[in-house]
Structure 1
Amino acid sequence: MDYRKEIDGLRAVAVLSVMFFHTGFSFFSGGFIGVDIFFVISGYLITTIILKEMEAGNFSLIQFYERRARRILPALFLVLFISLPFAWLWLIPQDLKPFSQSLVAVSTFSSNIFFWISSDYFDTAAELKPLLHTWSLAVEEQFYFAFPILMMFTWCLGKRWVVGLLSGIFLFSLLLADFWSTNNPTSAFYLLPARCWELLAGSFIAFYSTSSLRRDVRLCISEIGAFVGLSLIIFSIIIFDNETPFPGLYTLVPVVGTVLVILFAEPATVVGKLLGHRSLVKIGLISYSAYLWHQPVFAFAKQRIVNGPDIYVLNALIVLSLVLAYFSWKYVETPFRDKNLISQKKIIVFSSVFSLFFVVTGLIGNYSGGLPDRMKEKDNLTGIELPKINNGWCFYSIDTISYLNTGDEGTACWIGDKSSDIRGVLFGDSFAAQYEPLWHLAAVDAKVSVNSITTNWCYPSVNDEYTGPLASRAFSQCLYNRTYLAENASSYDFAILSGDWGDVLKQGKLEGTLRLIQSLAPTLKLIVLMASPKQFDFDIMASFKKSIFLDTNFDVSRAPHVKDYLTLNAHKLLKEASDKYSNVLFVDRYSMFVVDGRLSDVTAENIPFSLDGAHISIYGSKQAAETFLKSSQFSEIKERLR
């Protein structure tokens, strides 16, 4: 097929938008649509090649897969290989284990499935995963495994039948993507069934361009079409953000824009000249390598720099990614595409050996638990976890512990002085469970017993409102817990309520908590509302462990905590609600997280109270108890319960 330099310019727009999106520049809030541009371009180019070979009667499935291997694997394997020593040196075990798992997934072109499965309740920040971006490669290769086979089996029916069949798949995929984008967004983002319509959009351009329907259009029409297309792409990059449902109907904006650019951005048009500019074309030529390099470069830098790179470092990382991309394009990509230099036999041996190497390496990292022996003795902290039912505490984490059953097993786990006749209930989600160690010590001191009834996302409320996925088993357990509390509240003397108040407020569901307080207040001696700990924007404990692992200073004062704004607003509303009742007390952070007379995010040993940037750990809860037991609020609680 004829070379079109404006396509390489469009590739440059795609890869630069993705890279600038990952720097956090607000102007590129929708830069992730660069991946969608790549999908359309890929569908167009690959389908064009397949169609021409099929029409000529010389299409070979083996040669097709060989071309894909030459195109994809050499640069990919180089990036994986270079990533290994940095992963060994800079990733703590809890990060090295999932990296190792992703290494296996990448080598088997299933990383989209891996990241789909591993996205869970306690997921690590996406920007810290060095191989996260390979999900899109997996989607493409899964598509190209099936697409040429489908073309071969249906080609005898004629182009119209083929296009009709592909149109049906396109429509189904688009509708599924739109449905999933609001009901199952993780599946919509990662899985081929919700993404293949974007690749097929490019395929339809190829069918049109190689058919008798193709007509030359006037330059003014091409100018308008190309301008509208590029405008749609730029609009998506600037206006879309992480809250945009994707990849649903909104994705039509950049996809249609890309289709229009490919169709109309001829060399004579303004857009064609712009995209054909030498600087953009050069970046477009190395765009695949640039895409491969940028995520590991950014992720490892963010792992190494405990409090995150500043804007100057981020800009330098973009330059570094492009430099690495140039060298891998020139010395790896280009030579491996030359059949005279690398024979078919050599490419098969190369692919097999390195795939096996990365699979074995990944399995070792996974089954060793992230090679924990690399950690220093001083990093072997204890109690850095949530107090779950499977580690001697009570959090009924039915969403993450598969053997737990829905029902009354989750409503009977006592802490404190179990022989006491004064009975309380600790009720809520994981943000209530985090206080189990604190309340165990407090209840022993106060000579009371406490039944901890907590499960995932089950914030204190009287209705069926829920902050987690409704399809989870935890939702059923939550309804059971709330029914239990409503029916048995009178058997308790006091209640301790806690939840992820910031998220509850964000979802507009705090009213359910206020109604629960209203229903319990006439029955109980005392209701205690627990403040949430400070909410950070990333995993503070992981940063602390990294600082020990990398021998760097840990300074929590630099840790961003924009998310805490909502939590503080929720605290204000809960305090106002508690003031309306004589038997409701709001326990603030000053009664728990104080060191040397000042509110603190770390203990006296400079270890974070926080477990993951949101919850506190068992260790943090016990440390907070030391302050709580000496607080005036705890004295008041004991007095009221006598």
Structure 2
Amino acid sequence: MLYRREIDGLRAFAVLPVIFFHAGFETFSGGFVGVDVFFVISGYLITTILLQEFEQEKFSIVGFYERRARRILPALFLVMLVCLPFAWFWLLPGDMKDFSQSLAAVALFSSNILFWSEVDYFDTAAELKPLLHTWSLAVEEQYYVLFPLFLMTVWRFGRKWILALMAIVGTASLVLAEWSSVTNPPAAFYLLPTRGWELLIGGLTALWLTAKAPPRLSLRFQELLSWVGLTLLIYAVFAYTRETTFPSLHTLAPTLGTALIILFASSETYVGRILSIKPLVGVGLISYSAYLWHQPLFSFARHLSLGEPSGTILTTLAVLSLLLAYISWRYVENPFRSRAKISRRTVFLLALFFSIFFVIIGAIGHRTGGFSSRVPRVEGADLPRVNNGWCFYSIDSMRGLSYGADALNCFLGDKESNVKAILFGDSHAGQYEPLWDKAGREAKISIHSVTTNWCYPSLGEGFTGPPSSRAFKQCLFNRSYLKSNLKDYEIAIFAGAWGDVQEKGKIEDSLRVIEYAASIVDLVIVMPSPKAFDSSPLKQYQRSLMRGYEFDITKIPFASDKKNLVANEAIKRFAGNFENVLFVDRDVLFNVDGQPAAITSSGVPFSLDGRHISILGSQAAASAFVRSHHFRLLNDYVGKRPTHQ
């Protein structure tokens, strides 16, 4: 196969935006499209090689997978090995368990399936997963399990059949991606059926260029089309954002742009000459290793930082990823590509050994909860949910839960009391279940908890999460129940992620339901959003235990709390319009020993993940609540009821 310098230059255009995007550089808001560029390039190169081998009757399935092993595994396994000691010393058990599972999944080329299965409401942020980027390698390798078999099956029917079938399958894959990007975005993002069309675009490009008599276009027209391709690619890198639906029809810009460059940006065109300059070609040569190194570097830096690492640190790490890439390209990638230096037998034996090694490490890490003995256990360091004895119906993150009335079967407080209350809302209502269990028992109130993901108090269809999630359907069910049955309760308790609700322009929905409830029940209680932090205080506390330094919550940035303060104040002002609506000030709940909204008297932070309070935090807040004037008002109401026993 003829070497094309401009393809390596195009690889640089793929990897650099990805690195800058993951570094958080806002200018490269669509840098993630670099992965799609890689897909097209890979589809083109591999299909070209396979077509030549089939035409020369030299194709060997063993030889094909030997080349894939030489190309993919040495640098990949090196990065995984280097990650191990850093993960051991720096990752907390939950994160270490996730990392261990990803080791096994990467070794089995199924990490895309693992990361898809892990996407849920409380999943670790993507930027904190050291091996998250390997999902794209898994997609490619799954594709290359199937594609040679496809060619072996249809080769005898000729190129026209191959072209037609690839076009049909590719179109179907694109249609599925467009549909799934709305109905099931995580599946669309991670899985082969919705990504395969991108590799097939590269394959169709190879069919065009390897045809016996490919259509000849004038140099001027080739120049024009190559500029169109580069423009599409640059547009996607700088115009797309995290909000862009992906993969979908939007993905046609970077993928077709890449195909146009491969097809028409020859050395005779300006675009071809631009892509062939030495710095771009040099980066392109090390692009695979650079892609492998950048995510672990950024991930571990974010684990160590109290907030988002500074731009200087991330820029330094981006440069370091290129330096490490050069080292691994020269001393690992290149030697393993040489059959003269390393035999096929050695390649396969090493691949088998390290695959088994990583699977074993992954299995042990999974079974031991991320080698949890490394860190002292903090009791109650979780969100109250149905799987740990509470009520929050986390249907989006617990796949065993079913939609419907099962979410309505959980009660708190004095369950025998004839004073009935309903606790309604999203996870910010669920976080208060330990508090209301204690308060309900002391005030002799039976509290019905009706809570699920993203389901803030409303009677409409507003939702702060993705409408494609199972939680949306459950939320509508919960709200229908609230509207039909609110009259059966004396007290309504509402809580929500008020900052998010206001940010999405939905705060009026909640104000209306507060007003509606005030006209039906005797007493409405609205709970505040707790103080928000830019990283998880509980994780920082656990790291202090693991590493032996003093925990200081005041060092954790809390810029994200501003929206909660604004929303809390808006709801408090609105509640003041009603005699029977009580807004609970958050400092009443979280002010312990002069530390407002921060830590319990034992020094453990209330906050679980920076957004929610933990079971422990909720229990500590309960002790403060039952001593407050708010609780006295609640007790006075219950005591004055003639039907109270």
- Is 1:524 equivalent to 2:521 in the alignment? yes
Which of 377, 389, 393 aligns to 2:386? It is: 389
- Is 1:434 equivalent to 2:453 in the alignment? no
Q: Which range is displaced more, 325-334 or 133-142?
A: 325-334
1:86 offset after TM fit, Å? 1.3
Q: Distance in 1 between matches of 2:9 and 2:420?
A: 70
Amino acid at match of 2:197: W
Q: Distance in 1 between matches of 2:226 and 2:234?
A: 12
- Is 1:295 equivalent to 2:295 in the alignment? yes
Amino acid at match of 2:179: F
Partner of 2:643: none
Partner of 2:548: 551
The alpha-carbon distance between structure 1 residues 240 and 483, as it changes in their structure 2 partners (threshold 3 A), is closer
Determine if contact 1:133/1:292 at 8 Å carries over to the other structure.
Answer: yes
Q: Distance in 2 between matches of 1:338 and 1:537?
A: 48
Amino acid at match of 2:353: V
Partner of 1:188: 188
1:304 offset after TM fit, Å? 2.7
Secondary structure of 1:290's counterpart equals helix
Partner of 2:259: 259
Equivalenced residue count is 639
Q: Distance in 2 between matches of 1:535 and 1:213?
A: 64
Which of 628, 633, 638 aligns to 2:635? It is: 638
Partner of 1:234: 234
Amino acid at match of 1:528: I
Partner of 1:595: 592
Amino acid at match of 2:54: M
Q: Map of 1:206-285 to 2, 5 A cutoff?
A: 206-285=206-285
Q: Which range is displaced more, 48-57 or 557-566?
A: 557-566
Which of 496, 500, 503 aligns to 2:497? It is: 500
Amino acid at match of 1:247: P
1:393 offset after TM fit, Å? 2.7
Q: Which range is displaced more, 288-297 or 272-281?
A: 272-281
Determine if contact 1:189/1:247 at 8 Å carries over to the other structure.
Answer: yes
Q: Distance in 1 between matches of 2:208 and 2:397?
A: 49
- Is 1:322 equivalent to 2:322 in the alignment? yes
CA deviation digits over 1:218-239, x for unaligned, max 9?
4433332222222221211111
Partner of 2:110: 110
Partner of 1:7: 7
Q: Map of 1:348-387 to 2, 5 A cutoff?
A: 348-375=348-375, 379-387=376-384
Instruction: Provide the TM-score with structure 2 as the length reference.
Output: 0.93
The alpha-carbon distance between structure 1 residues 169 and 291, as it changes in their structure 2 partners (threshold 3 A), is same
Gaps of 5+ in 1: none
- Is 1:614 equivalent to 2:611 in the alignment? yes
Partner of 1:570: 567
The alpha-carbon distance between structure 1 residues 413 and 42, as it changes in their structure 2 partners (threshold 3 A), is closer
Q: Distance in 1 between matches of 2:420 and 2:315?
A: 58
Instruction: Provide the TM-score with structure 1 as the length reference.
Output: 0.94
The alpha-carbon distance between structure 1 residues 476 and 219, as it changes in their structure 2 partners (threshold 3 A), is closer
The alpha-carbon distance between structure 1 residues 286 and 615, as it changes in their structure 2 partners (threshold 3 A), is same
Q: Distance in 1 between matches of 2:357 and 2:82?
A: 13
Q: Map of 1:431-510 to 2, 5 A cutoff?
A: 431-468=428-465, 474-475=471-472, 477-510=474-507
Secondary structure of 1:497's counterpart equals strand
Q: Percent identity?
A: 52
Secondary structure of 2:423's counterpart equals strand
CA deviation digits over 1:159-212, x for unaligned, max 9?
111101100011111111111112211111101111111111111111111114
Secondary structure of 1:495's counterpart equals strand
1:612 offset after TM fit, Å? 1.7
CA deviation digits over 1:279-331, x for unaligned, max 9?
11111111111111111122122223343422222122112211211111111
Q: Distance in 2 between matches of 1:261 and 1:130?
A: 32
Determine if contact 1:427/1:452 at 8 Å carries over to the other structure.
Answer: yes
Q: Which range is displaced more, 402-411 or 251-260?
A: 402-411
Secondary structure of 1:527's counterpart equals strand
Q: Which range is displaced more, 508-517 or 615-624?
A: 508-517
Partner of 2:87: 87
1:134 offset after TM fit, Å? 0.4
Secondary structure of 2:525's counterpart equals strand
1:584 offset after TM fit, Å? 1.3
Determine if contact 1:540/1:610 at 8 Å carries over to the other structure.
Answer: yes
Determine if contact 1:301/1:309 at 8 Å carries over to the other structure.
Answer: yes
Determine if contact 2:184/2:468 at 8 Å carries over to the other structure.
Answer: no
The alpha-carbon distance between structure 1 residues 125 and 402, as it changes in their structure 2 partners (threshold 3 A), is closer
The alpha-carbon distance between structure 1 residues 398 and 125, as it changes in their structure 2 partners (threshold 3 A), is closer
Q: Distance in 2 between matches of 1:332 and 1:547?
A: 37
The alpha-carbon distance between structure 1 residues 370 and 170, as it changes in their structure 2 partners (threshold 3 A), is same
- Is 1:539 equivalent to 2:540 in the alignment? no
Q: Distance in 2 between matches of 1:560 and 1:274?
A: 44
Determine if contact 2:528/2:584 at 8 Å carries over to the other structure.
Answer: yes
Determine if contact 2:531/2:597 at 8 Å carries over to the other structure.
Answer: no
Q: Distance in 2 between matches of 1:251 and 1:473?
A: 26
Amino acid at match of 1:321: S
Secondary structure of 2:492's counterpart equals strand
- Is 1:414 equivalent to 2:414 in the alignment? no
Determine if contact 2:491/2:521 at 8 Å carries over to the other structure.
Answer: yes
The alpha-carbon distance between structure 1 residues 199 and 477, as it changes in their structure 2 partners (threshold 3 A), is closer
The alpha-carbon distance between structure 1 residues 36 and 402, as it changes in their structure 2 partners (threshold 3 A), is closer
1:500 offset after TM fit, Å? 2.3
Q: Distance in 1 between matches of 2:235 and 2:402?
A: 48
Amino acid at match of 1:441: K
Q: Distance in 2 between matches of 1:98 and 1:159?
A: 45
The alpha-carbon distance between structure 1 residues 263 and 433, as it changes in their structure 2 partners (threshold 3 A), is same
CA deviation digits over 1:373-429, x for unaligned, max 9?
111xxx321111122234333323344456655555543433334454433221222
1:479 offset after TM fit, Å? 4.4
Q: Distance in 2 between matches of 1:420 and 1:58?
A: 81
